[in-house]
Structure formats: structure tokens, C-alpha cells
């Protein structure tokens, strides 16, 4: 079961959202990070790998009803929360800040260390929890300036087999 975003805490007035991703052993998670060291708001997500477990979350928004998404979270805000009103799961996208993946905290972490930790998760099978801050919450509304063609740091090896 995929859970609707939970808001477990506040981080400098930014809302932290959580998604749980189900992956098989040997699958890459699909997070590619910016080539930068993390700060108190984590590391910037540069790209989602196509067909990865994180990328597949978009299909829950297209094909599943609210019955398949847990909405009775004690952290869920009142009915004004846009995720509940639109019946959509807010998934991580380019420009969001990744705070933690599984048990690994990416706050104030070097990009190289974050890469190593993501690679360790390749052998893991099961649910992986991703905490992130959506870019629209930490950037001003008029500052939506993220450039998808900026420097990329491929956080997981290309494991496609032809």
C-alpha cells in the first residue's frame, strides 16, 4: 500500500512530505542528485530515473482510487491540503530537497556519501521511506527557477541490460 504524504515535522517553516516506495532487490531507487553537498534542507533532487520505483509512483495517481491510499494519518492537515482535495499523491520531482531515504539522513551530507548510501539500497527489497521538501515550499512562489539542465550527479549506476 502506498501512503498519502505524511507531514511528520516542520523544517525551517517548510513542510516535510513522506512517500513510501516498494522496490525489488537489484532495482535502483531512481533518485539522481545534484552535484552539491547537502545543507539543513537536504540535497536537491536533479532527476527521477524513468521506469524506476520512484517514477512508478506517478501511476498511482492515474489508476488507483483513494481507497488504495492511506489518508487517515495523524499528520495529515485539514481538508484544505491540496493533496487530499485533488486525490493525488505528491511524489518527489526535480528541484525538491531530499531530507532522508530509508534510515539515511541527507542533511549536511556530502554528495559522494549520499551516492554511496543510495547504492547500498540496491540490494534491499521492500518499502523505502523518502522524506522531502517540495521546491515550491522552500522557494518563493515567484522564484520557481529550477533548471533541469544543471549539473547532474548520477546517484545510481545504469543497470539496464539489453
- Tell me how far CA of residue 74 lies from CA of 9, 95, 103, in angstroms: 12, 27, 21
pLDDT band at 14 (very low <50, low <70, confident <90, very high): low
Cβ neighbours of residue 78 closer than 8 Å, sequence gap 6 or more: none
For residue 161, tell me if it sits in a domain: no
Rg of the chain over all Cα atoms, to the nearest angstrom: 15
Residue 84 has pLDDT above 50, yes or no: no
Residue 76 CA to residue 22 CA, distance in Å, equals 21
pLDDT given at position 105: 94
Residue 144 CA to residue 141 CA, distance in Å, equals 6
Name the helix (H) or strand (E) containing 46.
Answer: strand 43-48
pLDDT band at 47 (very low <50, low <70, confident <90, very high): very high
For residue 105, tell me if it sits in a domain: yes
32 close to 152: Cβ distance less than 8 angstroms: yes
Residue 47 CA to residue 113 CA, distance in Å, equals 18
For residue 67, tell me if it sits in a domain: yes
For the whole model, what pTM was predicted?
Answer: 0.67
Q: pLDDT tens across 105-151, in order?
A: 999 999 999 999 999 999 999 999 999 999 988 775 334 444 433 34
Which CATH number do you get for residue 32? 2.30.42.10
Tell me the residue range of the domain where 66 lies: 2-138
For residue 160, tell me if it sits in a domain: no
Q: What's the number of domains the chain is made of?
A: 1
Amino acid at each position: 500500500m502506498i501512503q498519502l504524504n505524511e507531514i511528520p515535522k516542520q523544517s525551517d517553516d517548510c513542510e516535510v512530505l513522506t512517500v513510501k516506495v516498494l522496490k525489488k532487490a537489484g532495482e535502483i531507487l531512481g533518485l539522481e542528485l545534484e552535484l552539491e553537498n547537502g545543507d539543513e534542507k537536504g540535497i536537491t533532487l536533479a532527476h527521477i530515473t524513468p521506469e524506476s520505483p520512484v517514477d512508478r509512483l506517478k501511476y498511482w495517481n492515474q489508476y488507483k482510487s483513494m481507497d488504495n491510499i492511506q489518508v487517515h494519518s495523524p499528520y495529515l492537515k485539514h481538508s484544505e491540503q491540496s493533496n487530499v482535495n485533488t486525490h493525488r499523491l505528491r511524489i518527489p520531482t526535480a528541484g525538491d530537497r531530499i531530507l532522508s531515504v530509508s534510515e539515511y539522513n541527507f542533511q549536511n551530507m556530502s554528495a559522494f556519501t549520499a551516492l554511496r548510501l543510495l547504492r547500498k539500497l540496491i540490494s534491499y527489497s521492500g518499502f523505502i521511506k523518502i522524506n522531502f521538501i517540495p521546491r515550491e515550499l522552500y522557494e518563493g512562489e515567484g522564484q520557481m527557477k529550477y533548471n533541469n539542465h544543471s549539473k547532474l550527479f548520477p546517484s545510481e549506476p545504469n543497470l539496464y541490460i539489453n
